[in-house]
Structure 1
Amino acid sequence: MATTVSARIATTANFWGDLPENEYYKSQGVRNSKSYFETPNGKIFTQSFLPITNTDTPIKGTVFMTHGVRKSEEYKDLPAFLFGESMGGMISMVMYFQSEAEMWTGFILSAPLIVIPQPMIPSKVHLFAYGLLFGLADTWAAMPDNKMVGKAVKDMEKLKIIAGNPRRYSGRPRIGTMREVVRVTNYIQDNFDKVTVPFLTCHGTSDGLTCPTGSEMLYEKASSVDKTLKLYEGMYHSLIQGEPDESANLVLGDMRAWIDERVQIYGSKCDTRA
């Protein structure tokens, strides 16, 4: 009898098996490092993945930069692309709007949360009422729970792995979080026309967590000359982690082809906003 994914998770050190962490990442062609930062609000965990390269395969560009990497001496002249998935797509859009004019060469979004699906839109009356408590209710997990994971992941074996993640938040959405999501998505929609850099936005037509219409609106309203919209028929929200391998590889292949072409077109020290 074949071993189930849930049983395998319970008997192995990591979801990929018993291979030591550094050896696993090396097999994937990356160097992995972890760090922790103490803040007034607690400890923050970070993890980085850098490509293993040699002089024969130089780095062509950087994808999603943070903690000063974008402006570091080693990488500052390379093309720079933001990447954001789901709520990360929403955050990437805000980063783009708030960055210096020549900071980013372009961006890729995967199922970005820039339009909230109708069943998930919180009641304005409820948000207003909670707001009368002057922030006291912001941490309350009191928003409607729409069981989002099942709507995001199509491959059932991968769903078992994702649902078994002990770090995954499984409670109801918090009031303060939903208030900010509403505010920020409205801000992004009001500023679609200010997008001028090249971008690729991808969405599954059966996404039950974020609206494909968000990607369509961005494509239609952005001022960018170089813009691409990819809609994947029947795919769910998690295009990369949650689809069967064949579908996920199709999406990754499209992203890779797009970014390789833009690196060739725009090169280093480009001004894509002119």
Structure 2
Amino acid sequence: MECSNFMKGVGTKLASHGFAVFGIDYEGHGRSMGARCYIKRFDNIVQDCSSHFKSICAQEEYKGKRRFLYGESMGGAVALLTHKKDPTFWHGALLVAPMCKINEKVKPHPIVISVLTTVEDVIPKWKIVPAKDVIDSAFKDPIKREEVRGNKLIYQQKPRLKTALEMLRTSMKLEESLNEITLPFFVLHGEADIVTDPEVSRALYKRAGSSDKKIKLYPGMWHALTAGEPDENIDAVFRDIIEWLDERAGDGGPHAVNLAGQVSPPVDDPMVKTMKPVKRPLNVRLCGLRNGRRTAT
């Protein structure tokens, strides 16, 4: 269901506070080409995001700016894996209900998973994975829930077989390697979330190797903290997000030291400049920019 169109509200709010915000539609998601919501390899998504966002950071107007990752749900997993590809490049990450583990309440029975695994290479694109309605489970506000249902760019059918298994494996892999997370981060999670498990966000906070880490659990809130709650709840979440960013977004030089005590590589690193264009067709969206003082990606 991930697409930049759905995330436009988040980008607009961040841009209104002086952050340059960039998004990307994963292959097969939103307006990007490819089979709808088909993920052959989760690492393809991570590589696309890493290459695209690094190419933006290498642009003259953003050199020397601090660089932050932002991810919700599956995007949280993408953000963490993007960090792991280059642990010293990013200055921090905002992780909203990150997919570090699929909640047992929405995950298929282990026997079903075992059966599906045996045929994933035979019928990878089939929409046969039994799953509860994520929109019903994620969006508390009924009006916002129906608005999401009316968004034609959001995938609302059963998960494709390969996609579901890739997401499951990715979440399991992340859960097993939380100690390898070293960048500064702020993880936000609704305590009543039944899509991704808030207990794993607690585990991320406890086990991550980061020296600068923060967690906030919101009693009674569901999965879609920034789009599915009553307005007053959403406003409270964004106040916390902006406060965390403002404390860490002071301008830094090309070799700015991030808050984990690691030296970040210069954004004009030859490895960044010479990256080959991504071959997979993608739709890139600039959500907003004001003043260009600070960069949040």
Query: In the alignment, which residue of structure 2 is the partner of 1:62?
Result: none
The number of aligned residues is 227
From 151, 171, 177, the counterpart of 2:137: 151
CA distance in structure 1 between the aligned counterparts of 2:62 and 2:235, rounded to whole angstroms: 28
Give TM-score scaled by structure 1 length. Answer: 0.73
AA in 1 matched with 2:58: K
129-138 or 229-238: bigger deviation: 129-138
**1:72 has 2:59 as partner:** yes
1:170 aligns with 2:156: yes
**1:33-112 alignment runs, 5 A limit:** 44=32, 66=53, 68-99=55-86, 101-112=87-98
Contact 1:115 1:213 in 2 (8 A): no
Higher RCO (CA-CA < 8 Å; seq separation 6+) = 2
The Cα offsets for residues 206-230 of structure 1, whole Å up to 9 and x where unpaired, read as 1121111121110010011111001
1:246-257 equivalence runs, <5 A: 246-257=232-243
CA-based RMSD: 3.2
Give the corresponding residue for 2:198: 212
Match in the other structure for 1:200: 186
2:217 pairs with 1:231: yes
**Structure 1 residue 245 displacement after superposition:** 1.0
Indicate conservation of the 8 Å contact 2:73/2:96, yes or no: yes
Asked if 2 retains the 8 angstrom alpha-carbon contact of 1:153 and 1:236, the reply is yes
| Structure 1, 120-129 or 137-146: larger mean CA deviation | 120-129
Distance 1:133 1:205 in 2: 35
Structure 1: runs of 5 or more not aligned: 1-14, 16-24, 46-64
Percentage of matched positions with identical amino acids? 30
Q: Verify: 1:186 aligned to 2:139, yes or no.
A: no
**Does the CA contact (< 8 Å) of 2:145 and 2:228 recur in 1?**
yes
Deviations 1:126-164 (A, max 9, x none): 444344346122111111120111111111211121111
* One-letter amino acid of the counterpart of residue 82, structure 1: L
Measured after TM superposition, the shift of residue 34 of structure 1 is: 11
Taking the aligned partners of 2:133 and 2:190, their CA distance within structure 1 comes to 18
In structure 2, the residue matched to 1:138 is 124
Structure 1 stretches of at least 4 aligned residues deviating more than 6 Å after TM superposition: 30-37
Name the SS for the 1:83 alignment partner. strand
Flag the 1:240–1:134 CA change in 2: closer, same or farther, 3 A.
closer
Bigger Cα displacement from structure 2, 70-79 vs 212-221: 70-79
Q: CA deviation at 1:186?
A: 1.6
1:238-249 equivalent positions in 2, closer than 5 A:
238-249=224-235
Q: Distance in 1 between matches of 2:169 and 2:58?
A: 29
